[in-house]
Structure 1
Amino acid sequence: MAIKDLNLSAKTTVDGFMNGINKSVIKGQGLEFSQYRSYQPGDDLRSLDWKMFARSDRYYIRESEVETNISIRFLVDASASMNHHDGDFTKIEYAKYLVASLAYLANLQGDAIGLYVFKDADLFAMAAKQDYQHLSRLFFQLEQLKPAGSFTQPIHYKALFTGAQKRELLVFVTDVYQSNAEIFDLLDTLNSLRHEIVVFHLLARNEVELDFKGYTTFEDLETGATVQIDQVKARKHYQENLNRFLEETRMKMLDRKIYYRTLITDQALDQALRDFLKQRNKLSI
């Protein structure tokens, strides 16, 4: 994250991570031989291996390995609460680097990528497409992101229903800050599309530990409301409530069959990349 250029940062992160990692494959018609299997009624006769038939007098299908291509939509919460900072970085900056790295990785594997930004009660939509120019446009849009306002209202969700009818991978990056269950309303909407969903829940180290270096007045970034807190006295009760909230959130995600991962903004992106590849491969098979 010390590299300010998203394109270069994403390439540096992914190239380092992918060193030694095999690309994902599925069985199908391709160029690289994988294995034989017995012929089944309905199989494409062009896949029959006639040399194997001549040797064994039995019909075999020649299977090969092919790369899988899917459509991936990145959904970014850019409401004002994503301006929360810990040290030199805000949550939205971490989200930018995370999405840029995942998008670069997806593009590297030939996947179509799209970007949807939830900000200031509106929705910015960039339909999924596969080419390097599209990836550059996605980087540009990420670089322009400045969190503002409250989370997007359901009336603007129409763009989420456009596009291909096949199953997609939806990657949602958010701090799960909500006032009226709007995050879970969105997830219920996404679930109705029957896509695979991954939620990366961003937390800052200072909010996990309630350690804000002597501050006593705290402001809600979305409503402007303030509260006085003695951090030392409040810390134990606060962390109990936070742990309860995180467990309840995890269970709600599990009930919706959504893959859920908390990320602290001082952590490297490696685990997020592994989780992303795991879910991408799951959808491809």
Structure 2
Amino acid sequence: MAIKELSLSAKMIIDGFMSGINKSTVKGQGLEFSQYRSYQPGDDLRSLDWKMFARSDRYYIRESEIETNISVRFLIDASASMNHRDGDYVKLDYAKNLIAALAYLGNAQGDAIGLYVLNDAGIFSMAAKQDFQHLSRLFYMLENIQPKGNFTQPIQYKELYAGSNKRELLIFVTDLYETNDEIFTLLDTLNTLKHEVVVFHLMARNELELDFKGYATFEDLETGASIQIDQAKARAEYKKNLATYLEKTRLKLLDKRIFHRMICTDQPLDQALRDFLNQRNKLKV
């Protein structure tokens, strides 16, 4: 039942407003008509439109848009910090539904989809394939992820080199909490493999505002370490430091040519995805 709910959630998020993440503008012998152009020496004669020739006594090539199918691999941070809660919103649940929605979209477009799950136990890898049964298996794997421990350590990144040799679109959903630059080491590794990388950076509203409804003691979900603070006194300095951190992170990823989108977990998923696609399309123009 949980898997069916995840599938239904993905369908409801996607249906009605998403037209595609990777539609090509390449002209060729596709299915959807795009335009006519004059025949040039060397053009494939099979592309000639003989009806246009009969009407105009001139040779025209009929061009169509080609849909390009790509391989999309989703990476999900399954470390313990992804169990952070703000009221009804849990980071990992948001991440699961975000990935499920994009996987549903990719599968509907004919893209191969796969999954990496990352925590201190290692890297779980699910090969990229394109069929509905594979999508159901991906939903099953997502539903059964339990956050635990720290983020995957760099020594385990060698597993990423065992995948397909072709370039993939990698969509990484994480809170970017790390101890010794292990997440940015991962992103450097993915860049080495020449993949296109998109990072969805999840943060909760109570993290952004430092508003934990009276709590004075804070515990690190990964190490168990705790600290006591006065939220009211610390809030101004905290927000200043957070703004500096977020800007530094944005510039660091931009320097690596990695697309970055920070999302608050109280933002409706359909709106978050719409904003992401709009921003992505503007950058591609």
TM-score (norm 2): 0.89
Deviation at 1:260, TM superposition (A): 0.5
Unmatched tracts of structure 2, length 5 or more: none
Alignment of 1:256-271 (within 5 A): 256-271=256-271
Counterparts in 2 of 1:158 and 1:53: CA distance versus 1, 3 Å: farther
- Cα distance in 1 for partners of 2:35, 2:162 equals 38
Secondary structure of 2:177 counterpart: coil
Aligned to 1:75: 75
1:187 equivalenced with 2:192 (yes/no): no
TM-score (norm 1): 0.89
CA contact (8 A) 1:68 1:284 kept: no
CA contact (8 A) 2:173 2:202 kept: yes
CA contact (8 A) 2:81 2:147 kept: yes
Counterparts in 2 of 1:147 and 1:41: CA distance versus 1, 3 Å: farther
- Cα distance in 1 for partners of 2:121, 2:17 equals 36
User: Which amino acid is the alignment partner of residue 152 of structure 1?
Assistant: T
Deviation at 1:133, TM superposition (A): 0.3
User: Which amino acid is the alignment partner of residue 102 of structure 1?
Assistant: L
Deviation at 1:245, TM superposition (A): 0.3
Aligned to 1:201: 201
Aligned to 2:143: 143
Unmatched tracts of structure 1, length 5 or more: none
Secondary structure of 1:218 counterpart: strand
Secondary structure of 1:178 counterpart: coil
Q: Superposition RMSD on alpha carbons, in Å? A: 2.7
Aligned to 2:252: 252
Aligned to 2:34: 34
Aligned to 2:165: 165
- Cα distance in 1 for partners of 2:211, 2:242 equals 14
Deviation at 1:280, TM superposition (A): 8.1
1:273 equivalenced with 2:273 (yes/no): yes
- Cα distance in 1 for partners of 2:65, 2:272 equals 26
Aligned to 2:222: 222
Aligned to 1:100: 100
1:213 equivalenced with 2:235 (yes/no): no
Secondary structure of 2:15 counterpart: helix
Counterparts in 2 of 1:13 and 1:5: CA distance versus 1, 3 Å: same
CA contact (8 A) 2:261 2:276 kept: no
CA contact (8 A) 1:70 1:284 kept: no
User: Which amino acid is the alignment partner of residue 239 of structure 1?
Assistant: K
CA contact (8 A) 1:196 1:283 kept: no
CA contact (8 A) 2:175 2:203 kept: yes
1:146-174 deviation per Cα after TM superposition (whole angstroms, max 9, x unaligned): 11111112222233234443332110000
- Quick one: percent identity of the two aligned structures? 72
Counterparts in 2 of 1:184 and 1:17: CA distance versus 1, 3 Å: same
- Cα distance in 1 for partners of 2:223, 2:82 equals 13
1:56-103 deviation per Cα after TM superposition (whole angstroms, max 9, x unaligned): 665432111333311101000011110111002210011001111111
Secondary structure of 2:240 counterpart: helix
User: Which amino acid is the alignment partner of residue 75 of structure 2?
Assistant: L
Aligned to 1:87: 87
User: Which amino acid is the alignment partner of residue 84 of structure 2?
Assistant: H
CA contact (8 A) 1:47 1:61 kept: yes
CA contact (8 A) 2:20 2:109 kept: no
- Cα distance in 1 for partners of 2:131, 2:4 equals 23
Counterparts in 2 of 1:276 and 1:264: CA distance versus 1, 3 Å: closer
Deviation at 1:121, TM superposition (A): 4.2
User: Which amino acid is the alignment partner of residue 70 of structure 2?
Assistant: I
Deviation at 1:196, TM superposition (A): 1.5
Counterparts in 2 of 1:40 and 1:195: CA distance versus 1, 3 Å: farther
1:6-29 deviation per Cα after TM superposition (whole angstroms, max 9, x unaligned): 1111111111433xx478353321
How many residues end up aligned between the 2 structures?
Answer: 282
- Cα distance in 2 for partners of 1:243, 1:120 equals 29
Secondary structure of 1:211 counterpart: coil
Aligned to 2:174: 174
User: Which amino acid is the alignment partner of residue 47 of structure 1?
Assistant: S
